[in-house]
Each structure stands twice: as structure tokens, then as C-alpha cells.
Amino acid sequence: MCDGRTDLVSVAHVKDASGAPLVGVTILEKGSQRGTTTNAKGEYTIRIKNDNTDLVFSMLGYVSQELRVGKRTVLDVSLAEDTSEIDEVVVVGYGYVRRVDLTGSVASVNTEEMQKAPVRSFDEALAGRVAGVQVTSSEGEPGSSVNIIVRGQNSLTQDSSPLYVVDGFPLESFNASSLNPSDIVSIDVLKDASATAIYGARGANGVIMITTRSGHAGRTQVSYEGSFGLQNTTNRMDLMNPYEFVKLQLEIDPYQGRKSYLKPNSDGLDTRTPEYYRHVQYVDWQERVLQVAPMHNHTVSLTGGSKAVKYAASLNYMGQEGVVRQSGPCREAMSRLREFMFENVYRNPVAKGEESKAQDMLRRLFECYVSDPDRLPPEFQDIREREGVERAVCDYIAGMTDKYAVEKFSEAFIPMSWGVK
């Protein structure tokens, strides 16, 4: 060594902006290949030539720093996150790719926007945030399941749900309510044919890739996030009061309106006038049925670990009331009806056993009308000319009742009986 110094640092530290130690930070002596990395505690030791040595601290996702050693023997450093570099990285099926190098159709959800406007569930994080992704609810009940479709319905009879990949693991069946939205780090949607190149036929309907928060080496950290909000109907109908309603009825049908609301006596004289209804009490059923509904969300998370073992755990609770009021007996009756329907209809073995027959019937009807579109009713021939035969057939079959579909299937495929005179 030129000045007799044999080392610079004895148990110096590199941390992030929050004070947590950073593991794997590269420390290089500028202009040479000598260097080291931080251990599980964020500590490092390095030998230098002299006091004029410059050290460069770098790590993926953080802004690099260059510091002159000088007379110091302990050089603690804090690195700031490089958000511009993080934003350029997109998760795909085989790893990470810079967005500028990406050739496929991939859309990402802005997690910063999610934090500004907290969402209650994973599906809400997708709704309206990704082009080409449709998020629809099968019912209006709070917490009900939703259907997510990427780039439209691909099949008349088959499931069009996308493949979900959570932290690199493809999931055949995915329950959106099982994922805590506060644990989501990034959401990327693969929408084109590249998804099938990676995941095969399972990715034919698109792939939704979710990366969740992982543990980090360091002391145990406990965090809490909570939100509270109110729900209300924004567009209520402008209803008429009794006076306005009677005036309208008299304009529509003077004879029936006078008979019903002005109450003429046996002499033909009206016992009431329209002014009478200005003072009649009435019920605003929108006020009776609708309410301002509270909703609250609470999340407690635990992270920490060592270089060998890292852990992350979270607990989430979401409470939400509906904007439609329900009395206790009504709510209980709805609950019993739902249990009855699931037990005897939706999950009934007999009904489930008929599903494949119904799917086959719809498929054969579709093929029948596509091969012979002249069988379509006249009102669907216009759709055939404008949008194509497939669209016209889909619209026709979609409007059929179960009984009507069976009748049309019988006409097309079941031989009819005949008699001989």
C-alpha cells in the first residue's frame, strides 16, 4: 500500500432509504477490478490503495453512488431506489425483459395508482386499467366473483378464462379473493400469441402474471395499512311527486285519469282537483331502498429473515355493505335461497352431468347454422350481411331459451315421424 493503509472499513454498512440493510451490493474500487459485496447484514470490508481512492456502490434497482474515501475508516452508505430503471422492467413467462426490448403485446398495471386509490380485490386492480381486459361481475353482491376475459370471448362453449401465473407458478384454478391486493408488486398481462409459445395451449386465452411481495433479509418489520370509504349511488332517477304524476295521467288519458284520480260523483262533478295531490304524502322508494354503505380494508404484514431464509406473511380483512338495504328476515331468506340453489341446481350432480350434453347441443347448432345460414330468421340476415355469419349465429343462439334451443336442435337433427294414408 502506498501510504501503509491495509484496509478501509471494518463492519461498515449499506442500507436503503428506510434503513434496512441491502444484501449483494457491489463495491468496486474505481479504475480497478478490486471489489467486494455486502453480506446478509449489509456489511462489507475492502482494502484500498490510499486516501484518494474512489469507491463505487451499485445494485440493480438502486441509484449508484461514487464516494471518495479520504481519511475515513468507516464508510456507511444509503442507496436510493432507481424508479426509472424499475419501470423499464416487465415480467414475462421466462423472466424479466426491459420494456424497450419487448416485442410482444404486454400490458402492465400501475401499482402506484393502486396505492393512491386502494382496491378491495385483485380484480378491481385490473378493471379499467388494462386495454383489452374485460372485468365483469356476475352479480351485484359485495365480494361476489367476477369474470376476467383477455381480448374478448374466444369460444362459444369452452372456458375463456386466462391462465394465472403467481410468482412463476401457473395456477389451473385461481380465486381472486384469496390474493391480498396489498401484497401485489406488479401485474403484467400477456395478450398475444407469445403467451402460447411460453405456456402452450393453457395460454391461448392470455396470461395474467402476478408478482407478490417477498421477504428480505434483515430485522423483522411489521406494517399496517388501512382504508375506509363510503359507497353511494351517483345517478338516481328523478321521480315525479303525486301532483306531477296525476297531471301526466290526465294528459295521457283524460277520461281514465279523471275517473281514477279526480273521483267524479254520481252527478259527474269532480270531488278532487289536481291541487289536492300537492299535499299528499308519498314514499320515495329510492331513499327507502338505497343507503350510503361503509367499506373498510385492513392489512397487517410481517417481513424479515436472514440471507438463508426470508419470510413474508400478511393478513387482510375487508368489510363491505351493499348500497341496497336488506332487513334481517330478507337477508336470511336470500341466504337460504342461495344455499338451496347451489345445492340443488348449480352443484347438483344431475345438473352437472347434463352440462356436456348442453355444450354439445350448442356446438352442433352453431355449426348447423354456420353451414346453412339461410335457416336464420330474417331479422338476423341483416346482421349476417353487416358483421358476418358467425356473429349472426352467435346472436341468434344467445337469445334462445332452453326450450326453444331444444326445439331447434330437434328440428335439425332428430328425424320426424310421418304417416302414410
136, pLDDT greater than 80: no
Tell me what the mean pLDDT of segment 332-359 comes to: 83
Averaged pLDDT, 101-122: 66
Note the pLDDT of residue 364: 93
Residue with more model confidence, 350 or 410: 410
pLDDT number for residue 396: 92
Of residues 265 and 249, more confidence is placed in: 249
Average pLDDT, the chain: 80
Confidence of residue 72 (pLDDT cuts 50, 70, 90): confident
Mean pLDDT of 331-338: 84
The model's pTM is 0.47
| Residue 191 in this model has a pLDDT that exceeds 90 | no
pLDDT number for residue 179: 78
Output 113 or 378, whichever has higher pLDDT. Answer: 378
Whether the per-residue pLDDT at 338 is higher than 80: the answer is yes
Per-residue pLDDT tens digits for 78-96: 988 876 555 555 555 445 5
More confident residue, 265 or 247: 247
pLDDT at position 1 is 36
Tell me, what's the pLDDT at 139? 65
Determine the Cα–Cα distance for residues 292 and 88; give it in Å rounded to an integer. 42
Confidence (pLDDT) at 263: 83
12-83 belongs to which homologous superfamily? Carboxypeptidase-like, regulatory domain (2.60.40.1120)
Banded model confidence at residue 101, pLDDT cuts 50, 70, 90: very low
Strand 207-212 and strand 163-166: the pairing is parallel
Q: Which fold has domain 88-212?
A: Ferric Hydroxamate Uptake Protein; Chain A, domain 1 (2.170.130)
What pLDDT is attached to residue 193? 67
Q: How confident is the model at residue 4 (pLDDT cuts 50, 70, 90)?
A: very low
pLDDT score, position 138:
65
Query: Which residues have C-beta within 8 Å of that of residue 343, sequence separation ≥ 6?
Result: none
Residues 279-304: tens digit of each pLDDT? 888 888 888 888 888 888 888 988 88
Mean pLDDT of 390-418: 88
Residue with cell 283524460: 254
For 265-284, the pLDDT digits (tens) are 777 788 888 898 998 888 88
Task: With a cut of 80, say whether residue 175 has pLDDT above it.
Answer: no
Question: What pLDDT, on a 0 to 100 scale, did the predictor assign at position 231?
Answer: 83
Q: Mean pLDDT, to the nearest integer, of 391-405? A: 90
Q: What's the confidence (pLDDT) of residue 245?
A: 92
- Give pLDDT, residue 248: 93
Instruction: Give 234's pLDDT tier (boundaries 50, 70, 90).
Output: confident
What's the confidence (pLDDT) of residue 3? Answer: 44
- The rounded distance, in Å, linking the Cα atoms of 293 and 310 is 40
Residue 242 · residue 280 · CB < 8 Å: yes
Across 152-169, average pLDDT: 75
Q: Please state the rounded mean pLDDT for residues 29-53.
A: 83
**Structural domain boundaries of the chain?**
12-83, 88-212, 242-283, 349-413
Reported confidence tier of residue 141, pLDDT bands at 50, 70, 90: low
Selection from 48, 52, 58 nearest residue 14 by Cα: 58
Residue 368 has pLDDT above 90, yes or no: yes
Residues 410, 402: Cα–Cα separation, whole Å: 12
Whether 108 and 188 have beta carbons less than 8 Å apart is answered as yes
pLDDT band at 218 (very low <50, low <70, confident <90, very high): confident
User: Which residues, listed in sequence order, are joined to residue 290 by a DSSP beta bridge?
Assistant: 324
Confidence of residue 2 (pLDDT cuts 50, 70, 90): very low
pLDDT at 150 over 90: no
Confidence class of residue 249 from pLDDT cuts 50, 70 and 90? very high
Residue 406 pLDDT greater than 80, yes or no: yes
